Structure 1
């Protein structure tokens, strides 16, 4: 049995997904070190065999620099820092998906200087690096846009087409190593258009069509993500890819799918380590 030194790049053990990964790694005989990205790397006295990054929006750029530094020292990450960075940026993701002919909502990058908009109201406005439904706004009047720029302090925001037929619902597919392990349909709480579970939404297991499955897997291949949560919107234009989250939460998807996804992630970490060790 392998006995890996796994570094979990996460702010704290109390985060549900981090705790689950530690539990499953320990159950499989591994040593796990949880490392807060804010800690100076000079204090890290071991070279990890594999890194599992759990980097959210909080101080994202600083945390990615830590991941890059660890990679430069010869450690492997289940999601490489370069691909992680692209997937966390909604505008970069949109450009890559469009170039790869992957169906996704029509989007534009706007600055606070814009006073004309290429989509009719209502539309969606998003911060470029937000998660859990935060930084996502349904815009019905032009004057709301300047207030959001003032509120967020951002210089650019993503303007995205709105599909009323999908109001308050979407689909999350959980992918590990090129395989879809679980999928759930999320539904927003009454009066809310964002379906995120962190905002009070609920979920139920769902089946993906063959076309949706291929769309999800093409997205992860294109973005170079080995572990991700791909969000789909079912619209009059067919299913569209909203985003691919390189740091997908485990609590909701494990609860509703009844699958041990944390264990599958650890198994993939073992396989990735074995591949790199063999290639050296």
Structure 2
């Protein structure tokens, strides 16, 4: 069976790992460069890559990067129209890539999330006092890997940043800051299971615990209740494969973000879990269903 990986570059570490895993599982690996796929809506709807239809793939594993979100939504919608099996759906991509919409659907599903407010303009003092206590966290809706996430200590900081981001065309999400010593947890969800989890510890003088910002990953075992919340969060957003970021408020897990097309190099190094194999096995099982 031909199993494809849709990605911007075949040289990406995660892409290479997944392609190798497909081969190790006895299937034909196929790399599909995201922005080189031609979408045809006329007569027989099709998606053409290097002169050939993608219809010959048994299943496709999309890895849609942040910069390719808009094109990726249209590409996935086209593949859905064609009836192809995918491990990522267009609606789930759209939801996951907007932090506020994702927070809304998590809240609707009863998943614990931080108190959150969408700001289209600068708040005044009385508003802010009623919305979220300081210190607080400001996020742009489409940030990734810790970029576009800022901790603010008062209204003056908030107003200055909101004004600047509004000038740049950004809507801002204001969230409560849940005190922590620069530590959060990443749980990798594949289908109905958390296949691995790690505690991410931020470097000195940094409060954001992102591996891309230098955080160190160490293995952590989540209890069944926390794993169930991570899986529920992933499903609420509509994702089949996701990286769920969470933090504890006392004994209660709170979901910070649900990430689409998650990287897994740090998790693999920290835990030894072969996430590529888990993703490929899930995709193959879906193709055979």
Deviates more, 1:168-177 or 1:218-227: 218-227
Q: How many residues are treated as equivalent by the alignment?
A: 271
Alignment of 1:230-249 (within 5 A): 230-236=244-250, 238-249=252-263
1:56 to 57, 65, 78: 65
What is the rounded CA distance, in whole Å, between the counterparts of 2:96 and 2:178 in structure 1? 23
Conservation of the 8 A alpha-carbon contact between 1:84 and 1:246: yes
State the partner residue of 1:270. Answer: 284
1:94 to 95, 103, 119: 103
State the partner residue of 1:186. Answer: 200
Shift of 1:63: 1.9
Shift of 1:203: 1.1
1:6 to 3, 6, 31: 3
User: Please, which runs of 5 or more residues in structure 2 have no aligned partner?
Assistant: 40-47
TM-superposition CA deviations, 1:181-226 (whole Å, max 9, x none) = 1110001011111101011000111111232122112212322322
Query: Please, what TM-score do these two structures have when normalized by structure 2?
Result: 0.88
What is the rounded CA distance, in whole Å, between the counterparts of 1:266 and 1:127 in structure 2? 32
Shift of 1:12: 0.5
TM-superposition CA deviations, 1:79-118 (whole Å, max 9, x none) = 2111122122211111111112111111111113433421
TM-superposition CA deviations, 1:90-148 (whole Å, max 9, x none) = 11111111112111111111113433421122111111122211111111233434335
What is the rounded CA distance, in whole Å, between the counterparts of 2:235 and 2:70 in structure 1? 23
State the partner residue of 1:278. Answer: none
State the partner residue of 2:170. Answer: 155
Alignment of 1:1-280 (within 5 A): 3=1, 5-41=2-38, 43-44=48-49, 45-46=52-53, 47=55, 48-115=57-124, 116-117=127-128, 118-145=131-158, 146-147=160-161, 150=164, 153-164=168-179, 166-236=180-250, 238-275=252-289
Conservation of the 8 A alpha-carbon contact between 2:122 and 2:162: no
